[in-house]
Amino acid sequence: MAKNDTKIGIPADIAKMSFEVALAELEEIVRSLEGGDSALDDAIAAYERGAALKRHCELQLRQAQVRVEKISLGADGAAEAEPIVSE
């Protein structure tokens, strides 16, 4: 999985993260950048890492959407797949 993810700009260390870990790190980066106390080079590096974390989280969410679509249950309890409409 890491090889494919690096093609879309997700470093291998981030590709190995769970959604929750990646989101927590992304939130910390956002707080740090909003604080405005970082040196310019550090802020740029943090922004780049944050962008990669965002892409990873989006990929994880898309994969979860597909899984949910496959396992939806109808009102009668029967399994059925309904496409998820993206906005």
Per-residue tokens: 38: 């970082």
Per-residue tokens: 87: 């906005």
Which residues lie across from 79 on neighbouring strands? 73
For the chain, the 3-state helix, strand and coil shares in percent, each to the nearest 5, are 70, 0, 30
- Summarised one tens digit per residue, pLDDT across range 25-82 is 999 999 999 999 999 999 999 999 999 999 999 999 999 988 877 766 666 777 776 6
Domain segments of the chain: what residues?
A: 2-71
